[in-house]
Structure 1
């Protein structure tokens, strides 16, 4: 079952987004899926659908409150207008709402680009996440202190990325190692957003499939 949904957090706050539950209703855990700076697109909904087919309950929050764009300048404006610290807190609250729906559920956070940065920020903000899977996203230091992360991290990054440069990825890895965060960061010979099949100019099918397989194995291990 899939539908646009509003989860209610402990403080009564409603989280708009896309909810997809596994067939048969038996969930192996839950995943908060965070969209890129384009907004909550059909492509992101497709990621939630794929996670549900793997047995997970997936919830993709709509951080832009219904705004979606295909224009890079507009997407940048939307991202810059987003209070990322507040968003990280709200993502943690959304995870708690998923636990309230099914007590005992372990919840992971997974995101792409801006969503990848927020996946790490959410995990740094709240220590109840069971796992974090960022795709080519690193939060600015003023948004989150990644050394505070306590859950396992599986990261996917591109070697040809002007935003999450290899130097930034190396620095992230060193910070996580120094803080004894259990983290594995994979590098792919690809461009930023290589896992987005709706962007043929950067999509790398082989690398995307490898990253997805690693992510699913990781999520089953940490949530199952």
Structure 2
């Protein structure tokens, strides 16, 4: 189990979130970015799972303590709509990466839904990351084009997704290929949010475990 911590952003302000240590010296690290629901305990559970797999894990609280119930999509949309994504990436997320670099090893980023889009933004803007693993999220091209990605990606998308649609995924993949980027991209016969076991209507256990095994293999390759 982890604990709530704070760290310095590049601008000198403080950010906070959930941190759990791997328990081994010089372990690699992962920043875990929340869904649009906020820093739910499902996300802290993913951080715990990364720690059990040998990674320091840090989940920034991008909503400053606000957690939206799963049934309230309107409130989640308002919270996501009020988030300054570039400030979150350039300051809170970059500060998290810098904090984790203090453990002496490489750092990756992963995220889900809104967090997937944040992960791709970070792959374009935050030099401290060695690789990124976004789940079912793509930022608008106005702020991050596939050609802007600077680190290897492993992307996970759902075939039944009305937010991060298959058409959007196809366009993103085509952009990465055209720009000659290093990436893996996987599609699953599942719904948006399929990794979240607390949302039983969307969760797909078999697909989640497959995505998890692919994620760990990718991190082992790029964080060694």
TM-score tier after normalising by the smaller chain length: over 0.9
The 2-side partners of 1:113 and 1:15 are apart by: 21
Unaligned runs of 5+ in 1: none
Q: Which residue of 1 aligns with 2:30?
A: 31
Q: Which residue of 1 aligns with 2:113?
A: 113
Q: Pick from 94, 97, 104 the counterpart of residue 96 of structure 2.
A: 94
Q: Which residue of 2 aligns with 1:134?
A: 134
Change (3 A) 1:11 1:86: closer
Map 1:21-170 → 2, pairs under 5 A: 21-23=21-23, 25-70=24-69, 71-90=72-91, 91-99=93-101, 101-103=102-104, 105-170=105-170
> Mean Cα displacement is larger for which, 204-213 or 119-128?
119-128
Moved over 6 A (4+): none
The 2-side partners of 1:62 and 1:9 are apart by: 13
Q: Which residue of 1 aligns with 2:193?
A: 193
The 2-side partners of 1:13 and 1:221 are apart by: 34
Partner SS, residue 217 of structure 1: helix
TM-score of the two chains, using structure 2 as the length reference: 0.95
How many Å apart are 1:89 and its aligned residue? 0.9
How many Å apart are 1:187 and its aligned residue? 0.3
How many Å apart are 1:15 and its aligned residue? 1.6
Partner SS, residue 186 of structure 1: strand
The 2-side partners of 1:207 and 1:26 are apart by: 32
Partner SS, residue 115 of structure 2: helix
Unaligned runs of 5+ in 2: none
CA RMSD of aligned residues (A): 1.3
The 1-side partners of 2:119 and 2:89 are apart by: 8
